[in-house]
Each structure stands twice: as structure tokens, then as C-alpha cells.
Structure 1
Amino acid sequence: MPEPERRRPARWRPWLRALHRDIGYVVVGLTFVYALSGLAVNHIADWDPNFHNYEARHQVAVPLPEDDRAAADRVLAELAITSPPTEVYRSDARELSILLEGSTLHVDLDSGAVLEDGQRPRLVLRVANWLHLNRGKKAWTYIADGYAVFLLFLAASGLFMLPGRKGLVGRGGVLVLLGIAVPVLYVTLSGGP
């Protein structure tokens, strides 16, 4: 009795796996940028992912000059701040506000108490968000489009990596349907756009 003919493995699968692996390596850096930024931007109501807000208290000697500009110059000199103010104005009769790049000094002219509030950039997250939100436009649009195409390829090629019960016709197909069901159910249950 002749032995039944064994099904030969598809010759394209090793090529698909190699291409899937290599493209996966290429997009790792971009995936980290987009994933990190996505997590940060999703919670923008809870915190500022681009800047760290801070407050600091200082004290300067009194009395301060009555002239706003002279008072501002003296406060800046005592606090060893060398950057020039962008604006100096009276918030009220006895409070002087000195706007600097990234911070504001609120000076109590009677006591010499200075409240500094400002922002410092969160370097990694700020850059990741800038890229993710395509603030750079032009060339970055092509890079982001290429990344999206690579992600589509990775998703599609992943469907055909394994044959049989562990692949698309078995467990893989069930998992694909589960992945599709998540956004569909969310849109349906939340009332959609």
C-alpha cells in the first residue's frame, strides 16, 4: 500500500519569517517612540507630558526700588538670573511679575518674597510627542507613513507565519477575531463617534 503523499511545507514561509523579523527590527525604535508617546498623551488630562511644572521660593533684600524695571533688575541680580525678562509688570499695587523664558517670578515688593513658577521640558517625552503628533511635518510625514506601512506588513505577515491549528485557521484565527472585536465592541458600547 503506497504511503499517502505528505504535504510539503510552503517554501515562502521562511522568506516571510525572515522579512517579518528584519522589518520588526527596523521599526523597534519607532515603536518605542509611538508607544511611549501614546501612553503619555492618553493621560494628558492627568499631567503635562511635555513639561514638568515647578514652584520655588526665594527671598531678596528690601526695600526694592519703586521703578518696576529697576526693581526687576535688582531681583534678577540677587537671584543670579542672567537671562533678560520678556516682560515686567505690576500684578497689583504691591506685586511685581517678571516673565522669563520658561518661568515667572512673582515678587512681593513689601517683604521681598519671590515665588517662581515655571516649566522644564521633559526631554524624551517632549520629543516623542512632537514626533507622534507630527509637529515636524514635511519629511516626518513620509517616515510616519512608511512606519504605518511596515506595521501593516507585520500584522499581515504575522497572520501567515504558522500553518495549521496554531495559525490562522486555528488558534490564530480566534485571536485575530478577538483583536478585531475589541475596537468594534468599544465603539458599539460607547455610542461611537
Structure 2
Amino acid sequence: MADGSSRFLLRPWLRAIHRDIGYVAVGLTFIYALSGLAVNHIADWKDGDANFVRYQTTHHFAPLANAANGNSNDDEAVARDVASKLGITEPPREVYRAAPDQLDVQWERRTLHIDTEKGDVIEEGEKPRFFLRLANWLHLNRGKKAWTYVADTYAVALLFLSISGLFMIKGKKGLFGRGAVLALVGIAIPVVYVTLAGGP
């Protein structure tokens, strides 16, 4: 009687803990699943980049012919002026003449091609994809050691969820019935794939 009573009391606690850990894991599961899909299909993204989307925009300003003499001081001044008009506050990495009438200003993920005679500015750059860049940054552990603790905790939580899930339901739909068959199917998927693919 004692053993049966213990098993009876254990299952409700197991379900409650499984439920609560599952709720906590929702956000992390969403991040890892979405990022995993994005990275697995990296070749299907335009430009082959799941983190950024490329753009090109043309702006029109007053002629900048006063900078056409190639004087470096004038070039820097024009670069600062155009950047200010575009709301760019960070200093550029490089300012150089691509042609007598074209001044190029480069940042890490943005380049301005300035026609100093016509005042036309072609802006090329990359914008982070909404949420995906963050998800991929976390998934690939760009946060280094601090995020490693979170990722390890999440991995342990997944192990608990998978193991505890085996014992939550009794009878023919539980571990010793349909559950055993489905669990074996899940184990067989990677084993069969590795075997057919010839291994690592």
C-alpha cells in the first residue's frame, strides 16, 4: 500500500513541476526554435544572411561642388554635414574619394556614395531583421560565458521535461503503452538518419 500511495502522490507533483518549468521554457524554446529554422535555411534568405536585410536609398541635397577639389578637410566636412542631415551621429570608419566627383563615407554596416556636384547621395547598408538577429545572437552564444549559464540551465530543463513527460500518464497511453512506441520513434529518427547519411 505504501508503494502504491507514494506513486500516486508523486505523479501530481511531477505534473505540477513539469507544467511550471514548461511555462518558463516557452520564451527560450521560441528563440531557439525560430533561430534554428533561420540558420538551417540560411541559403534561402536573400543575400544569404538571416541576421540582416540589405537596402539602398537615394537622397537629394543641395550641390556639394565645394568639396569637388578633393581637399581632405572639405571631404570630412561634407561627410559630417551629410551624415548630420541623415541623422547619423556615429563617426565614420573611413572617408575617401572613389572618383573626382564622388565621396564615399563608410560605417560598419552603411556606406554613403555622395555625388559632390549634383548633391545626390546613395545610401547602402544592412538593417537587422526584426527579432531574428537577437534570436541568432543568443542561439549561437554570442553572449559568451554569461549566456552559457542560461543555455545550460535551459538544456537541463529540457532534459527534465523530456524525462518527466515519460511518467506523467499511466496505462496504455503512458510509458508502458503508446508512449513507449512514440519514444522509440523519437530515438530512432536521429539513429536512422546518421546510419543512412554515412555518419559524421
Could you report, residue by residue, the CA deviation over 1:118-151 in whole angstroms, capped at 9, with x for unpaired residues?
A: 1222352222222111111222211111110110
Contact 1:166 1:172 in 2 (8 A): yes
Change (3 A) 1:67 1:131: same
Contact 2:75 2:95 in 1 (8 A): no
Q: 2:113 aligns with which of 89, 106, 111?
A: 106
Contact 1:72 1:98 in 2 (8 A): no
Which residue is 1:43 aligned to? 41
Contact 2:70 2:100 in 1 (8 A): no
Secondary structure of the corresponding residue to residue 178 of structure 1: helix
Q: Which runs of 5+ in 1 are unaligned?
A: 1-7
- Runs (4+) of structure 1 moved beyond 6 Å? none
Contact 1:37 1:132 in 2 (8 A): yes
Could you report, residue by residue, the CA deviation over 1:10-53 in whole angstroms, capped at 9, with x for unpaired residues?
A: 31211211111111112112111211221222222333232222
Contact 2:70 2:97 in 1 (8 A): no
Aligned sequence identity (%)? 58
TM-score, normalised to structure 1's length?
A: 0.82
- State how 1:135-146 maps to structure 2 within 5 Å: 135-146=142-153
TM-score, normalised to structure 2's length?
A: 0.80
**Number of residue pairs matched by the alignment:** 186
Whose helix proportion is higher, 1 or 2? Answer: 2
Q: Mean alpha-carbon deviation: is it higher for 66-75 or for 178-187?
A: 66-75
Which residue is 2:185 aligned to? 178
Contact 1:41 1:49 in 2 (8 A): yes
Contact 2:111 2:123 in 1 (8 A): yes
Which residue is 2:132 aligned to? 125
- State how 1:1-193 maps to structure 2 within 5 Å: 10-11=7-8, 12-47=10-45, 48-60=49-61, 61=63, 63-65=65-67, 66-67=69-70, 69=72, 70-71=74-75, 73-74=77-78, 77-78=81-82, 80-81=85-86, 82-83=88-89, 84-109=91-116, 111-193=118-200
Q: Which amino acid aligns with 2:81?
A: A
User: Which whole-Å CA distance do the structure 2 matches of 1:126 and 1:52 have between them?
Assistant: 10
User: Which whole-Å CA distance do the structure 2 matches of 1:90 and 1:78 have between them?
Assistant: 15
Secondary structure of the corresponding residue to residue 144 of structure 2: coil
Change (3 A) 1:19 1:117: same
Change (3 A) 1:68 1:88: farther
